[in-house]
Amino acid sequence: MYITRSSEDTFTFGRALGKFLKAGDTVLLYGDLGCGKSVLARGIAASLGVKDEMASPTFTIMQPYQGDTEKVYHFDLYRLSSADELFAAGLCDHIASDGVALVEWPQQADLSPDVRVEVDIYRAEDFEAREIEIALIGMDERADEILLSIRKWEEDQ
């Protein structure tokens, strides 16, 4: 488990996590409303060279971005009433595809691509702090690189 003490920490944790992601990877972001999923997603996108302002795509479901190194697809599935909505709109074509997919509320569409990072974010007792758990699934040798990047982030805190 990792601890962030502020939004800035959560953002820089996202940068460390995203450093070794590549096209075809999917990051599934779990957590309550307001726990920092979008902040973490912005940090990941920044590590991939996205310079555009990234608002939460709540009302559009998916917002694409072009980074220096990869395309980034930022999903917010909170308002989906069923997985069928995602598939009917053709948005599932951007998951595990030509970019990195950052998916908030993935449980709304029951997503579990073969290559993924699962991130659970919890509020800690301190109002600003967050507890973050990650699972690297199907990442092969990059799992070690990602964990090393996060360890370096921890050392710099």
Domains of the chain in start order, with CATH, are: 2-156 (3.40.50.300)
CB atoms under 10 Å from CB of 71, counted, come to: 17
Is pLDDT at 84 greater than 80 in this prediction?
Answer: no
Of all residues in the chain, the percent with pLDDT exceeding 70 is 96
pLDDT at 53: 85
Is pLDDT at 86 greater than 90 in this prediction?
Answer: no
User: Which DSSP string corresponds to 104-125?
Assistant: ESGGGTT---SSEEEEEEEE-S
The CA–CA distances, whole Å, from 24 to 30, 82, 142, 157 equal 19, 24, 13, 30
Burial of 152 (0-12, 13-18, 19+ CB in 10 A): exposed
Is pLDDT at 57 greater than 70 in this prediction?
Answer: no
For residue range 90-117, what is the model confidence (pLDDT) as tens digits?
A: 677 778 889 999 999 898 888 888 899 9
